[in-house]
């Protein structure tokens, strides 16, 4: 009799499970909402006038236990200003093949330039596309913002930016033309015209 008891007990579990509600999630058609403090893809934030919050201090790269962040800082000038401080992050990369989404970089950031979004879809078809650059990480422009580089808000200082006193771009603020060291501004304009024609 014991030869038949074991298979019947197994079938009993199967029949019980057959009539239960299925727990299958229909991903990617129906995306599961994440918790508000979910650690997803990173985002580089801007000030309300459009200047970048990142000051190129590299503290996020030092704090990263997986060595997934690469930052190269550069000096701001009055002719080409990306952030209100002395420096800005000229090169900013996060390698999501290494990143463990722990959030230590966010804790290390002194200006709240780096935060984590709820975006968790990071799969891609090539390894190169999982190294996110500054252009991919930088937050988009909202209404009232002017794309960097541009001058700081008249009458404001770096401290005013980080105190939250700057709430929008000053009237008449225009984007400055970015020129690399040793490059003729005419060459940059010609190249921009050629790219626009493509």
| Least reliable range by pLDDT among 49-58, 83-92, 184-193 | 184-193
Banded pLDDT at 18 (limits 50, 70, 90): confident
pTM value? 0.76
Structure confidence at residue 159 (pLDDT): 92
Residues 148 and 175: beta-carbon distance below 8 Å:
yes
Output the domain CATH number for residue 91.
3.30.70.3270
pLDDT digit string, tens, across residues 130-169 = 999 999 999 999 998 999 999 999 999 999 998 999 999 9
Residues 48 and 168: beta-carbon distance below 8 Å:
yes
Residue 2 in any domain: the answer is no
pLDDT digit string, tens, across residues 35-69 = 988 999 999 999 999 999 999 999 999 999 999 99
Report, as an integer, the average pLDDT of 5-20. Answer: 77
Average pLDDT of every residue of the chain: 87
The C-alpha atoms of residue 53 and residue 146 are separated, in whole angstroms, by 14
Full domain range(s) for residue 75? 42-166
Cis peptide before 180 (omega within 30 of 0): no
Banded pLDDT at 184 (limits 50, 70, 90): low
Residue 140 in any domain: the answer is yes
Helix (H) or strand (E) holding 87: strand 87-95
Structure confidence at residue 4 (pLDDT): 58
Residue 102 in any domain: the answer is yes
Total domains, the chain: 1
User: How many angstroms separate the Cα of 127 from the Cα of each of 94, 96, 132, 193?
Assistant: 12, 9, 11, 32
Cis peptide before 149 (omega within 30 of 0): yes
The C-alpha atoms of residue 149 and residue 147 are separated, in whole angstroms, by 6
User: Which residues touch 192 (CB under 8 Å, ≥6 apart)?
Assistant: none
pLDDT digit string, tens, across residues 116-131 = 999 999 889 999 999 9
Residue 9 in any domain: the answer is no
């Amino acid at each position: 009799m014991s030869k038949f008891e074991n298979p019947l007990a197994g079938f009993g579990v199967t029949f019980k499970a057959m009539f239960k509600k299925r727990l299958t999630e229909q991903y990617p058609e129906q995306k599961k909402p994440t918790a508000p403090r979910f650690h997803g893809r990173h985002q580089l934030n801007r000030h309300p006038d459009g200047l970048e919050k990142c000051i190129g201090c590299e503290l996020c790269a030092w704090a990263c236990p997986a060595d997934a962040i690469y930052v190269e800082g550069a000096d701001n000038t009055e002719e080409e200003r990306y952030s209100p401080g002395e420096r800005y992050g000229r090169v900013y990369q996060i390698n999501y093949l290494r990143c463990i989404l722990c959030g230590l970089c966010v804790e290390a950031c002194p200006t709240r330039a780096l935060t984590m979004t709820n975006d968790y879809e990071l799969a891609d078809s090539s390894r190169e596309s999982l190294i996110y650059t500054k252009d991919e990480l930088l937050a988009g422009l909202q209404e009232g913002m002017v794309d960097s580089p541009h001058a700081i808000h008249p009458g404001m200082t770096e401290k005013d930016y980080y105190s939250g006193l700057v709430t929008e771009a000053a009237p008449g603020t225009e984007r400055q033309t970015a020129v690399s060291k040793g490059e003729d501004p005419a060459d940059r304009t010609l190249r921009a015209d050629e790219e626009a024609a493509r």
